Amino acid sequence: MEWSHYRFRTKWDLDAAPDAVYRVLERPDHYPDWWPQVREVRQTGDTTGVLRFRSFLPYDLVVNARSTRHDPELRILEVAMTGDLEGWVRWTISPGSPGTRLLFEQEVVVRKPLMRRFAVPCRPIFVANHALMMRGGRQGLLTRLAADARHVV
């Protein structure tokens, strides 16, 4: 087993229209507005940027991101990453009952030296840290969608 390799799969059921969810997720430059653990997004090109994350543990992860799929018809967003994390992340937004079924998938190898050094003993902590980040993202997304819905009415 490669201890610095991670594969995550998270499903969220959201009480919002799939197109509304897609519109929020397709704008990573606004993620810091609603996702507390996404500390910074700096656009470097039309489909590229630098993102900085920090969850519960006191370290930042910085990645260079490049959009590899932006499909509004199928509601799929996919990004390739290099830097402290190397791999990809994908959002798949589909109709649910009620609202939206959101699937988050990520496969990465950690390149951050500190995390690689402690990969074996700290793996459960790193996985829990990711879960806390995802919990913050879900709550932030729900709050953002509710605020957006109030402004539409």
pLDDT of residue 150: 83
**φ/ψ (deg, to 5) at 139:** -65, -40
Element (H, E) at 101: strand 100-110
Mean pLDDT of 131-138: 97
Return the amino acid letter for 68.
T
Q: pLDDT over 90 for what percent of the chain?
A: 93
**Other CB atoms within 10 A of residue 88 CB:** 17
Q: What is the mean pLDDT of residues 105-133?
A: 96
**E-assigned strand segments in 29-96:** 38-43, 48-53, 61-71, 76-83, 85-95
pLDDT at 79: 98
Contact of 83 with 111, CB cutoff 8 Å: yes
For the chain, the domains span: 5-152
Q: How far apart are the C-alpha atoms of 121 and 62, rounded to whole Å?
A: 22
Average pLDDT of the chain to the nearest whole number = 96
Q: Rounded CA gap, 97 and 141, in Å?
A: 18
Taking the domain 5-152, which CATH number applies? 3.30.530.20
Mean pLDDT value of segment 79-102: 96
Task: State the pLDDT confidence band at 23, using cuts at 50, 70 and 90.
Answer: very high
